[in-house]
Amino acid sequence: MEDSNRLSYFLLGLGVGAGVAMIFAPRSGAETRDYLQAKGQETAERLKRTGQELHDQAVESIDRGKQAVRDQVNNLSSAVDAGTKAYQQVVEQTSRA
């Protein structure tokens, strides 16, 4: 079956399903619209909360990552300083000899 036929059948089924749902709906149109609007608002609020939580977690993770990088830079800087001092000591000892 071609993709265009599959899409056509899907859309036809979607339309028939929506029509049947409207015929057998237990609520009036106004009640259904109110219900859908309330559910939409609940979903929007839930998505906003979830988005804020994800944002907060991302910010926290970034801050932890930045701190880890700062710690590694400090460790590397300390290691370079120690290596420089050791090199200078070796140079001084060699020049004395």
Q: Which residues of the chain have pLDDT under 50?
A: none
pLDDT score at 97: 66
| Cβ-contact 29, 21 below 8 angstroms | no
pLDDT score at 22: 74
Between CA 46 and CA 76 the distance in angstroms is 45
Enter the DSSP assignment of 24. T
pLDDT score at 6: 84
pLDDT score at 21: 79
What are the extents of the domains in the chain? 3-96
pLDDT score at 61: 96
pTM: 0.51
What amino acid is encoded at 6 in this protein? R
pLDDT score at 36: 79
